[in-house]
Structure 1
Amino acid sequence: MTLAAATNENLAQISNNLIYSAMAVYILAFLAHIGEWVFGSRSKVGRTSAALTGAVKAAAGAPVVTTARAEGGTAVLDKPKVVTRAATGARDVPDGPGAAGGTVKGDLYGRIAIALTVLAWAIHAGGVVARALSVQRAPWGNMYEFSITFSMVLVGAYLGFLAAGKNVRWLGLPLAGTVLLDLGIATKYLYTASDQLVPALDSYWLYIHVSTAIFCGAVFYLGAVTTVLYLFRDSYESKIAGGGKPGAFATSVLERLPAAASLDKFAYRVNAAIFPLWTFTIIAGAIWAGDAWGRYWGWDPKEVWSFITWVAYACYLHARVTAGWKGRKAAVLGLIAFACWLFNYYGVNIFVDGLHSYA
């Protein structure tokens, strides 16, 4: 039986409709996250925390305190201030109160955004499952399927951190924007009929190798976004420590992020945790290549860039435990490593000729 004959066109169309529906709900979640930051920025927590940061510079180990008060008729929650050691060891600053900035109204928009994200993810997952059922195989046989699955796993990883009690809601806005971009590119430029599958991919290794590559990429993305936020927050803290006065936008946004040290630690931990699985991904790919093409390594562009990505992340992790390569230098190296992964994701499949050019 051919793949075309086995295709359930009704399920394939249902999958397409679900993906578009998920995009609509992600847009609502994106707007709700914007509302969270906008209304949260009206809190005096953001405006006064710069003074708090200056005070904490001189005294480490400030206690964790949670209180509530009313200001100007608006209830304001004082979030716990967790003091952590900066990457350079030169200053101690508290974690910001989060995207809501301490306001009840901002927090309400944030909760709405999370609820919409959960709903969008459920619809999104339904679209991926329907795509798989339409051809009775793993739903990542081409770049379109890889992309919709990647963004689904990405949102799932984010919600998993939230479910585990991690305060990562500050990732919600860039996450929603990225998912919309990814799905937009997938549906507009990468769409492929559900009955198309390269013969070399018709193997049980598709479930092992590609699924781990997708999961690794999702976690690497979370680490990369956190690293970008760390660089902004670290520059902000350095300006405060040097007696500078940041602008109103920086004060209202960056003060509500976790401290630079917390962001740096989170990015390092997720990258370090997923690196062994990326190593396994490359090994599994080599074994699959041996079965499919009769050799484990042939310097195919995908193989080369997978290895380059591995080396880049290995250098980043090594730099983290090497004197003089903590903080911003290591962060830049981490972003270079993710850029390698991103090129391996899009560039190699689309722009480079090779055995993996099945986009």
Structure 2
Amino acid sequence: MSALSDQLVSIAILVYLAAMISHAVEYALGNARTPARPATPARELVGAGVGAGGSGATPPDGTTATPDGLTPGGPPVDRSRLAGLIAVVATAIAAVVHLAALVTRGVAAERMPWGNMYEFVLTVSFIGVVGWLAVLWKRPSLRRLGLFLTLVMVLLLAVAELVLYVPIVPLVPALQSYWFIVHVSTVVFASGIFLLGSVPAVAFLLRNGYEQGRRSFPYTLAKRLPAAASLERLTFGLHAFAFPVFTFAVIAGAIWAEASWGRAWGWDPKEVWSFISWVIYAGYLHARATPSVKRNVATWLAVLGFLTVLMNLFGVNIFFEGLHSYGGL
């Protein structure tokens, strides 16, 4: 089952890559349409009551010529939309394969697959893509944002497989508690939504700059993204949803620490960075609710918050040692 899980992760990366390429095709084509085909020459009808030269006549097949000699070639084929739909289907397939990789990993380990950085990244990215599919179901107009989401999926899963991978091992004693499910599941869920929320946040900053007249790189990349206002609303909605869950996760971690180590807070590196993330996200929500604060300034706080989440996930486990140093590296 462990080998099957590894193979499914590789397949998921390839399918996410195919989805990303399809989104890139959609992004490049824009709103292109197929050209109209030449009209069938109208036959001249001779007889009583028919104008000279066949003027005003309609061909027997019902085809009506346009003034420029062309006729519509049937319903226009929107190649951009077709590529986008293919990308969405590929993303959904990749998500199913992604889930299968997590399930098989958990079955092989005989526990929830959250015991190390490799498994944690797989789960967080899965929550992110499921959240994206839910958003897309409600708001299909945001589909082009999928280019950036699938890019993030490819990068995260590739890093997990190539850099973070560790064989299945039993949980360390500190994690053998029912709080493992309570605390880690909420951290994983909140982190996955924060991951998803960072995508429209960055897209909003680019699109907002483009709408304000900035035509230099990289703002011109955002000219085919959804409107800045819709991206900003999505950013706020995702963060407002994830923040209470993250708050509960921090509190649950403190309760678990009290039960396991005899203190609720010990300024462990991971605890410190969790607190930093909480403060920044709280600052973002407060700034977003303050009319005098510009939306782009508030959104920069959301981006900074996710950078601290990445620091907590990767940097703390790589560069620091503490009671949470069981990430597998």
Please, what TM-score do these two structures have when normalized by structure 1? Answer: 0.76
The aligned runs of 1:320-339 (5 Å cut-off) are 320-339=288-307
8 Å contact kept, 1:16–1:127: yes
Q: CA deviation at 1:348?
A: 0.9
Q: Do residues 315 (structure 1) and 283 (structure 2) align?
A: yes
Q: CA deviation at 1:72?
A: 9.3
Query: 2:58 matched to which residue of 1?
Result: none
- Whole-Å separation in 1 of the counterparts to 2:219 and 2:277: 33
Q: CA deviation at 1:180?
A: 1.1
Q: Do residues 35 (structure 1) and 25 (structure 2) align?
A: yes
The range that moved more, 212-221 or 323-332, is: 323-332
Q: CA deviation at 1:163?
A: 2.6
Query: 1:238 matched to which residue of 2?
Result: 212
8 Å contact kept, 1:148–1:186: yes
Q: CA deviation at 1:73?
A: 6.3
The aligned runs of 1:12-23 (5 Å cut-off) are 12-23=2-13
Q: Deviations over 1:108-149 (max 9, x none)?
A: 011111111111111110010000001210101000110111
- Whole-Å separation in 2 of the counterparts to 1:13 and 1:284: 34
Q: What is the aligned-residue RMSD (CA, Å)?
A: 2.4
**Letter of the aligned partner of 1:15 in structure 2?**
S
- Whole-Å separation in 2 of the counterparts to 1:74 and 1:161: 33
Partner residue of 2:86 out of 91, 107, 112: 112
Query: 1:209 matched to which residue of 2?
Result: 183
**Given the superposition, is the C-alpha separation of residues 248 and 341 from structure 1 closer, same or farther in structure 2, using an over 3 Å criterion?**
closer
**Given the superposition, is the C-alpha separation of residues 189 and 196 from structure 1 closer, same or farther in structure 2, using an over 3 Å criterion?**
farther
The aligned runs of 1:246-325 (5 Å cut-off) are 246=215, 254-325=222-293
Query: 2:193 matched to which residue of 1?
Result: 219
8 Å contact kept, 1:319–1:325: yes
8 Å contact kept, 2:280–2:305: yes
Question: 3-state DSSP class of the match of 1:168?
Answer: helix
Query: 2:15 matched to which residue of 1?
Result: 25
Query: 2:109 matched to which residue of 1?
Result: 135
Question: 3-state DSSP class of the match of 2:141?
Answer: coil
Q: Do residues 162 (structure 1) and 147 (structure 2) align?
A: no
Q: Which is higher, the Rg of structure 1 or of structure 2? A: 2
Query: 1:171 matched to which residue of 2?
Result: 145
Q: Do residues 356 (structure 1) and 324 (structure 2) align?
A: yes
- Whole-Å separation in 2 of the counterparts to 1:337 and 1:71: 55
Please, what TM-score do these two structures have when normalized by structure 2? Answer: 0.82
Q: Do residues 152 (structure 1) and 142 (structure 2) align?
A: no
Partner residue of 1:180 out of 142, 150, 154: 154
Q: Deviations over 1:46-70 (max 9, x none)?
A: xxxxxxxxxxxxxxxxxxxxxxxx9
**Letter of the aligned partner of 2:319 in structure 1?**
F
**Letter of the aligned partner of 2:285 in structure 1?**
L
- Whole-Å separation in 1 of the counterparts to 2:74 and 2:171: 57
Q: Deviations over 1:59-105 (max 9, x none)?
A: xxxxxxxxxxx9996966xxxxxxxxxxxxxxxxxxxxxxxxxx710
Bigger relative contact order (CA 8 A; separation at least 6):
1
**Given the superposition, is the C-alpha separation of residues 352 and 71 from structure 1 closer, same or farther in structure 2, using an over 3 Å criterion?**
farther
Gaps of 5+ in 2: 35-69
Query: 2:52 matched to which residue of 1?
Result: none
Q: CA deviation at 1:170?
A: 2.2
**Given the superposition, is the C-alpha separation of residues 74 and 260 from structure 1 closer, same or farther in structure 2, using an over 3 Å criterion?**
farther
Query: 1:87 matched to which residue of 2?
Result: none
8 Å contact kept, 2:207–2:227: yes
8 Å contact kept, 1:33–1:110: yes
Q: CA deviation at 1:167?
A: 3.2
**Given the superposition, is the C-alpha separation of residues 198 and 74 from structure 1 closer, same or farther in structure 2, using an over 3 Å criterion?**
farther
Q: CA deviation at 1:207?
A: 1.3
**Given the superposition, is the C-alpha separation of residues 236 and 73 from structure 1 closer, same or farther in structure 2, using an over 3 Å criterion?**
farther
Q: Deviations over 1:271-291 (max 9, x none)?
A: 112111110010011111112
**Letter of the aligned partner of 1:137 in structure 2?**
R
Q: Percent of pairs identical after alignment?
A: 43
**Given the superposition, is the C-alpha separation of residues 214 and 249 from structure 1 closer, same or farther in structure 2, using an over 3 Å criterion?**
closer
Gaps of 5+ in 1: 1-10, 45-69, 77-102
- Whole-Å separation in 2 of the counterparts to 1:75 and 1:250: 34
- Whole-Å separation in 2 of the counterparts to 1:142 and 1:248: 39
Q: CA deviation at 1:179?
A: 1.0
